[in-house]
Amino acid sequence: MKTDHMKVAIVGCGYTKATRKLEKPETEIAIEACLMAAQDAGMDPSEIDGINVQVHHYPPPETQTIAQGIGITNLRWNQDGGLGILPAGVAAQAIDAGECNSVLVVKIMNTIAPISTPQIDPSTGRVGDWQQFEVPYGLGFSMQRVGLMARKYMHRYNIKQEQLAWIPIVQREHALMNPWAVMDSPMTLDDYMNSRIISDPVRLFDCDMPVNGAFAFLMTREDRAKELNHKPVYLKSWAGSEVTKRDQLNAEYLEGPTPLALEIYKDAQLGPKDMDLWYMYDGFSYFVPMWMENLGLIPRGEAGNYVEGGDNIRAGGEHPINTHGGQLSEGRLHGHGHVLEAVQQLRGNAGIRQANTANTAIISSVFPWTGAAGILSVE
């Protein structure tokens, strides 16, 4: 989708440090990140009139408490939830529709949440719904489904683990240049190939790193954005895929970009070749090559050759990938880290991580076969 009446920009970024343990109450860190985003933009919090809060644990904090803590006095729009680029699109739509002028989009990560286990009745072992065809065979977790998709993908195109290993290796290089990243030691090809196999072919180093913290960005209309502290970064287009009940079992696309990709390029009036920086969702490392191909950034089956050795995808390369380290090495921010880093790069504020050419960025969020994607641009 795209906004019809005006352009909407991301104008402020706020972060608490990503930490292995939750160091302060979640409401407090959410307020802290939001205030940083407002301050970064140069907007008084009292001007903000919309908020989107994303949590992944239960019970969630009170959005009202967060809004009050920020100093929002006139909350006109609130819609919580979503992951990654999609809530930015929802907020942009609300701004475009005149429901509000400036929206804070804030993600709170709290690892207190247990990983979601299959719904097995503890007394009888019975499992209902679609899980009844999987859990009795020991298939119950995302990581396992990723393993099935990853093996199929590598087999179909004759791609080797030693090639795709360069994604986590290069992202670790990027994390070492990112003060917010949790991972702070280098990774070699040997380190990767010797890392523990959990659900073969998925290794420990293919999995993202759970962290705690709060991460916010502020969005507003173009006319206001131009008066603020930084070069506005516009959300040109976005789309989410249609999720069916059989989401993990959808037929794979084997030729060209997916309908979701075609939609965002059409709405942005840009093509895959125009995308300078690639922010590919990496809850698991295997999502990165699948997203690259789904978005038409490289031809089907070419990801292994493209990433091998790392030169094409590292900062300074042809198309740097996840210049912040991604979820594998910065930490699991559910796609929020990708958006924040893309904004810093497009502003030219990424310090030692700054890419040579950074006018456009493509961002994907969540699973390559059910997720969302969007395009950011300085124009």
Partner 1 sequence: MTNEKPNVQTREGQEQMKALGIKPLPDPDATTQPYWDAAMNEELKIQFCSACNQYQHPPMPTCERCEASKIEWRSISGKGIIYSFIIDRRLMTTGFDEPYVVAQINPIEAEHDDVRITTNIKGCELTDVYMDMPVEVFFEEVNGVKLPQFKPAPDAIIKSQQ
Binding positions for partner 1, rule: CB under 8 A: 114, 117-118, 120-130, 132-141, 143-144, 147-149, 151-152, 155, 196-202, 244-246, 249-251
Q: What's the min distance (Å) between Cβ of 285 and partner 1?
A: 15
CA atoms within 13 A on the CB side of 257: 18
The residue among 135 and 164 lying less far from partner 1, judged by its C-beta, is: 135
Q: In what order do the strands lie in the sheet with 213-221?
A: 77-78, 50-54, 102-109, 213-221, 8-15, 233-240, 372-377, 360-365, 277-279
Residue whose entry in the numeric block shows the structure tokens 């009050």: 68
Q: What's the min distance (Å) between Cβ of 156 and partner 1?
A: 9
Q: What's the min distance (Å) between Cβ of 243 and partner 1?
A: 13
| Ordered DSSP codes for 320-334 | -B-TT-HHHHT-B-T
Q: What's the min distance (Å) between Cβ of 146 and partner 1?
A: 9
Q: What's the min distance (Å) between Cβ of 138 and partner 1?
A: 4
| Burial class (CB within 10 angstroms; exposed 0-12, middle 13-18, buried 19+) of 348 | middle
The residue among 128 and 179 lying less far from partner 1, judged by its C-beta, is: 128
| Burial class (CB within 10 angstroms; exposed 0-12, middle 13-18, buried 19+) of 310 | middle
The residue among 1 and 143 lying less far from partner 1, judged by its C-beta, is: 143
Q: What's the min distance (Å) between Cβ of 117 and partner 1?
A: 5
The residue among 281 and 286 lying less far from partner 1, judged by its C-beta, is: 286
The residue among 14 and 140 lying less far from partner 1, judged by its C-beta, is: 140
The residue among 64 and 130 lying less far from partner 1, judged by its C-beta, is: 130
**Residue 77 to residue 49: CA distance in whole angstroms:** 6
